[in-house]
Amino acid sequence: MDNVDPYMSQKHQEVVAMVGLDAMKRANSTLEDFSRSYFMFHRLDINEPQSIFRYLPVLSFTESYIYQMDALNEKIVSESACGSQVIYSSHGWNAESRVLFETNPLKPLGDLLEREALLTNRVQQEFNSGEEYWALERKLCHALSNKNKICLEDVMRAIHLKSFDYRVLNLLLYKLRGEEVNELHMDFLSISEFLVEVADDLFDYEDDVLENNFNVLRMFVGIFGSSNAPTELAKRISEAEEKYEEIMKSLDPHLSSNYQRRCEEATKEGGKISGHSLGTWNIPAVISDEEAYRSAQR
């Protein structure tokens, strides 16, 4: 299935949403984390299989499709840094796929969700956020690799947009369950998502430098310089932590306790999962000369 064009149906000659097995495998860790971290906000028990499998088809397909698009965008960003061009045909992509990706990459998924009566205005807004993030990622990484000036506003916008897939899944879960969106929970999780993305970027910093991926610390080094970047980033982290702690006071105490426990579990497990420990951040040594670092690692 991975060698099939994810968009074009030969039978109907129309744009359809399809996902490959590789994308499903790679999306699995996100789905596990989403279930363990977000289901509690919907009063769903992660230990009850029916709570997972009832909603798994829609959530899994959606995350896999987004993961597929994100992987392609990262490949475009990475290969643009070395002046090469993505060879779509070797990955099941053709010219039509490229045009669609560069114009409206999430439309096939949106069309599918609309047919299932699941495409709300909020979900569409998050799709728009995803497309904006991918465009910012290409813009910022291209500028950084070419030693051009980058804008702090763009960087902060990108890091806030980056978790759009979690918000899509969360909004879909509200819709699937026939419940109104809880705005307090969405606001709280939005701040948590920002902190998680920063934590992930710090964890992946060296790899992101090698692959020319968007990384908030990379961007801060490009803006503020290697000596000031850690301090400037620490300021933004502290501001977000203050908001996080303030909104947490408004949550149900039992929910707050469960979520804090989940964050502690995720932090111990490590890697790219929803875990951040307030006040215990470890900013890695910055790389002032990325080109030299890449050359040394080859």
Distance CA 62, CA 57 (A): 8
The pLDDT, as a whole number, for residue 10 is 40
Closest by Cα among 129, 286, 260 to 201: 286
In a domain, 72, yes or no: yes
- The residue range of the domain holding 103 is 21-282
The pLDDT, as a whole number, for residue 97 is 56
pLDDT band, very low/low/confident/very high, at 273 (cuts 50, 70, 90): very low
pTM above 0.75, yes or no: yes
CATH number at residue 154: 1.10.600
Distance CA 246, CA 250 (A): 8
In a domain, 10, yes or no: no
In a domain, 208, yes or no: yes
Q: pLDDT per residue over 100-140, tens digit each?
A: 667 789 999 999 999 999 999 999 999 999 999 999 999 99
Residue 15's DSSP bridge partners are: 8
Q: pLDDT per residue over 218-232, tens digit each?
A: 999 999 999 999 999
In a domain, 121, yes or no: yes
Flag whether pLDDT at 268 surpasses 90.
no
| Number of domain units in the chain | 1
The pLDDT, as a whole number, for residue 50 is 87
Percent of the chain with pLDDT over 90: 69
In a domain, 257, yes or no: yes
pLDDT band, very low/low/confident/very high, at 267 (cuts 50, 70, 90): confident
pLDDT band, very low/low/confident/very high, at 52 (cuts 50, 70, 90): confident
pLDDT band, very low/low/confident/very high, at 6 (cuts 50, 70, 90): very low
Average pLDDT score over residue span 145-174: 97
Backbone angles phi, psi at 54, to 5 degrees: -65, -35
Residues 165, 136 contacting (CB under 8 angstroms): no
Residues 266, 275 contacting (CB under 8 angstroms): yes
Task: Give Cβ neighbours of residue 152 (< 8 Å, ≥ 6 apart).
Answer: 223
In a domain, 190, yes or no: yes
Distance CA 42, CA 206 (A): 36
Residues 259, 37 contacting (CB under 8 angstroms): yes
